[in-house]
A and B are shown apart, each in its own frame.
Chain A
Amino acid sequence: MAIEEKDNLVFLEDEMKKSYLSYAMSVIVSRALPDARDGLKPVQRRILYAMTELGLLPNRPYRKSARVTGEVLGKLHPHGDMAVYDALVRMAQDFSLRHPLIDGQGNFGSVDGDPPAAMRYTEVRLAPLSNELLNDLDKDTVDFIPNFDNSLKEPVVLPARFPNLLINGASGIAVGMTTNIPPHNLAEVTDACIAMINNPGITCDEILQFVKGPDFPTGGIILESENLKKAYEEGRGKITLRGKSSIEREDGRERIIIEEIPYQVNKTTLIEKIADLAHEEKIKGIKTIRDESDRTGIRIVIEVSRVFTSEIILNQLYKHTPLQTTFGIILLAIVNGKPEQLSLAKAIKYYLEHRREVLIRRTRYLLDKEEKKAHILEGLKKALSRID
């Protein structure tokens, strides 16, 4: 390289630092983490917004997923089509979201881990609950920013009439940080919000009177411990989650019936794991294992041989298979453009502040509109009085 060109030299370290930092920030803020206010990641928000624009309301017919994906890609989200479709599918899965935001028709996958049908086969429309997220979007309640090519505008956040962050949860891996928010019960969380409105200085203990803990769409049993409380206080902690099982006895034979499995556990892999352990004799006393699940629910049957005790086999299953898992709670979300680890109280507080702003803006908008209308009516009144 010629000496005179030296001025243009860039040190690799500096360039790495600069580029990687901006990449990291981009991933954190506009890809992997949900917003604390509406609990949506950018891709989810764009899908919901695009669907409203397409008029895919709950009372309208379904439309091909491919059209929605295309709309989102072409107008709002300059990324891969599979990323968008996967996000869309997840929002329609009743075993992933406590309250699905999208009403899907077709094969959207199952707890067995089999893949959903391709987007040319499946059809979607908004679920009724999504209305509550999108309501008042047209009333200047939230800011709009230009899309990637400055041809359209998209909302920065949705008005969100219910605290979606806590209700449907979220999980995402950014750079240097991850989030893993479990879903909660809608009634419990709304009660907690109301309690906080009534008493803004409410403590975490008091909130936990309302929110008993996560409420996973797949059911299961949470073993309560101090960790649960700690997780909500600090925004980080581990809880133990177990599948629901019972023991059936019939003329001297015992079988273990598993009716619910922990959240995000793949049923097929669970059964394979149990079968492997039984085969290797790491767990003794399992005669056969059958999957009797049908459309009404999960039912895994484990036949126990006579000389063994079901309770002990069950304990071994808890210990050695994903029938018992730990869920690491990390309540990380974007607040004012920055990632922040939230306590339960803070998560609710940020949501309520957002609602307050939405409400003020909505009222102002309505006031403005109403004032214009009144002005015209006044003019009409004057004109009418002079007509005769």
Chain B
Amino acid sequence: MRLQRLTSIEREKVDKDHKDSVKNIEEFKAILASDTKIWGIIKDELKEVKEKYANPRRTKIEEGELEGLEFKPEDLIEKEDVVITITYNGYIKYTPLRAYTRQQRGGKGMSGISLGKGDVAKNLILCNTHSTLLFFTNSGKVHAIKVYEIPQKGRGERGRAIVNFVQLGEDKTAATITIDDIFDSNKFLLMVTKKGMVKKTSLKQFSNLKRTGIIAIKLKEKDELVKVLLSSGEDDLILSTKKGMSIKFSEKDVRPMGRASTGVKGMRLSTDDEVVDAVLVEDEADLFTITTKGYGKRTPLSSYRKIRRGGRGVKNIKLHPERGEVVATKKVKKDDEIIIITQKGKSIRLWAKNIRQTRRITAGCRIIKSDKNDKVIALA
């Protein structure tokens, strides 16, 4: 360095720089000596970056959606009103209600199903795709399927056999009931067996239904389930027997029981007699009774006297050997239609009002002329 340059340096500035320098050195040494200071600087630098560059969160985090991770079938299937058709030979289908166009009174109607030979529509159920359909078998088991699991078919199509969805095995379907999703409602199932037993069970007990079926009622030997009714818990019901007896009592007489129980005596039967059908009582409705030989009658439900359960009941119909035994009963109103099906596949459809209303103890009149070897088997 030349002397000339040295002189041009200001002494004060050098002094100041030196002082700063010494100060810095001390500071750096202090930092190196203290962990707290190091961390302090790291923190400050992080804060600086945060202030300069941070922006609000873009992805939302939603809480309480734990079960939302898995969809239930109900979440994925449109809820739609449908008509389920079940035929006597066990074919089933559902058709959206939209497919049935509304007609004027007096219209001809449309065919709702194409039927195999000798088959007739037995059951027409209005419900929606989220409903559950319960099949009760004569051996006392109950199977459940969701309506959306039934094949959807057009109006004029036949459907598929129920055995394809429900493992019925050797059993036959005794009754079908639809329920709108809710199993915790205050409804009860009333089960009636051939030997006159009656059982009442809350619907809640059936919440874990399976396709393969669960026991709905424990049956005694040689007994069979004949009918299942969905009741409010305060209804009256009428049981009818093969030999023309009927008993009307309040379901309040029957205490609710667990699922796998036998039930209580509903009707005392004479030897060889058996219960064939049961209906819930409704005001202004009549009881229609039909015999194997095609004789039937219509009597107001009110003319049956209400007694306690377990009694013998009252006479429902006068029977002669040539007029056969009672096959089925049905609750009808004046404007209802009745379909009667015979073993040979014949069926007749008639208006309830075409049958004269009679008193309780009568023999009824001929409803369907049947051949010698034929007999009435069902009523819808």
Q: Report the separation of the CA atoms of residues A99 and B55 in the bound assembly, to the nearest whole angstrom.
A: 10
Known: A162-B49, A315-B76, A380-B9. A240 touches B41 (CB 8 A): no
Contact A308 B49 (CB under 8 A): no
Q: Does B46 contact A (CB under 8 A)?
A: yes
* Chain B residues within an 8 Å CB radius of A387: 3, 6-7
The listed residue (A244, A319, A384) touching B9 by CB distance below 8 A is A384
Residue ID in chain A nearest B7 by CB atoms: A387
B152 to chain A: closest CB distance in Å? 11
* Contact residues of A between 146 and 165, Cβ < 8 Å to B: 161-162
* Interface hit among A26-34, A74-82, A270-278, A369-377: A369-377
Name A240's closest neighbour in chain B (CB-CB). B69
What is the distance, in angstroms, from B146's C-beta to the closest C-beta of chain A? Answer: 15
The residues of B that contact A244 with a CB separation of less than 8 Å are: 60
B21/A370 in contact, CB under 8 A: yes
Q: Which of B204-220 touch A at CB < 8 Å?
A: none
Provided the pairs A373-B21, A383-B6 are in contact, do residues A215 and B53 lie with their beta carbons within 8 angstroms? Answer: no
Which of B9, B15, B62, B78 interacts with A309 by CB under 8 Å? B78
Whether, in the assembled complex, B39 has its beta carbon less than 8 Å from a beta carbon of chain A, the answer is yes
Contact of B59 among A194, A219, A315 (CB under 8 A): A219
A355→B42 contact, CB < 8 A: yes
What 1/0 flags go to B78-120 for Cβ under 8 Å of A? 1110000000000000000010000000000000000000000
Nearest B-chain residue to A378, judged by Cβ: B18
Binds B, one of A2-10, A84-92, A183-191, A248-256: A183-191
* Interfacial chain A residues near B29, Cβ < 8 Å: 367
A193 to B15, CA, bound (A): 42
Residue A245 interfacial (CB < 8 Å) = no
Residues of A contacting B66 with CB < 8 Å?
225
Residues of chain B within 8 A of A187, CB atoms compared: 50, 54-55
Residues of B within 8 A of A247 (CB): none
Provide the bound-state CA to CA distance between A4 and B6, in Å. 81
**How many whole Å from B278's CB to the nearest CB in chain A?**
39
Chain B residue nearest to A313 in the complex (CB): B78
CA distance A69 to B75 in the complex (A): 51
B-facing mask of A299-330, CB < 8 A → 1, else 0?
00000000111001001101100000000000
B98 contacts A220, C-beta separation under 8 Å: no
Stretch of A40-48, A112-120, A331-339, A358-366 contacting B (4+ beta carbons < 8 Å): A358-366
Instruction: Report B108 CB to chain A, min CB distance, Å.
Output: 27
B316 to nearest A CB, angstroms? 47
Q: Which residues of B contact A356 (CB under 8 A)?
A: 38-39, 42
Known: A186-B53, A378-B18, A384-B11. A162 touches B46 (CB 8 A): yes
B47 close to A318 (CB less than 8 A): no
Q: Given the complex, which residues of A lie within 8 Å of B54, measured CB to CB?
A: 185-187, 190
> Nearest Cβ in chain A — how far from B36, in angstroms?
10
Of B28, B68, B79, B98, the contact of A363 (CB 8 Å cutoff): B28
Interface hits, A122-152 → B, CB 8 Å: 128-129, 132
A129, A219, A316: the one contacting B58 at CB < 8 Å is A219
The 8 Å CB contact of A367, one of B17, B28, B42, B59, is B28
Q: Would you call A352 an interface residue if the criterion is a C-beta within 8 Å of the partner chain's C-beta atoms? A: yes
Asked if A221 is at the interface of the complex by the 8 Å CB criterion, the answer is yes
Flag if B32 contacts A374 (CB, 8 Å): no
Given contacts A132-B49, A193-B46, A374-B18, contact A367 B32 (CB under 8 A): yes
Q: Which of chain A's residues have a CB closer than 8 A to the CB of B126?
A: none
Which of chain A's residues have a CB closer than 8 A to the CB of B17? 373, 377
B63 at the interface (CB under 8 A from A): yes
Name B19's closest neighbour in chain A (CB-CB).
Answer: A377
With contacts A187-B50, A312-B77 known, is A374 near B42, CB below 8 A? no
Which residues from A are CB-within-8-Å of B42?
197, 352, 355-356, 359
Whether the pair A213, B59 counts as a contact (CB closer than 8 A) is: yes
**Beyond the given A366-B28, A367-B29, could you list 6 further A-B residue pairs with CB under 8 A, ordered by the A residue number?**
A185-B54, A214-B59, A312-B77, A359-B38, A359-B42, A377-B17
Q: List 15 A-B contacts (CB under 8 A).
A: A186-B50, A191-B50, A194-B47, A197-B42, A214-B59, A221-B60, A222-B59, A307-B98, A360-B38, A364-B32, A367-B28, A367-B32, A371-B25, A373-B17, A387-B3
A residues in contact (CB < 8 Å) with B: 99, 128-129, 132, 161-162, 185-188, 190-191, 193-194, 197, 212-225, 240-241, 244, 284-285, 307-309, 312, 315-316, 318-319, 352, 355-356, 359-360, 363-364, 366-367, 370-371, 373-374, 377-378, 380-381, 383-384, 387
Q: Footprint of A on B, CB under 8 Å?
A: 3, 6-7, 9, 11, 14-15, 17-18, 21-22, 24-25, 28-29, 31-32, 38-39, 41-43, 45-47, 49-50, 52-66, 68-69, 71, 75-80, 98
Q: Which 3 A-B pairs have the closest CB atoms?
A: A187-B54, A367-B28, A374-B21
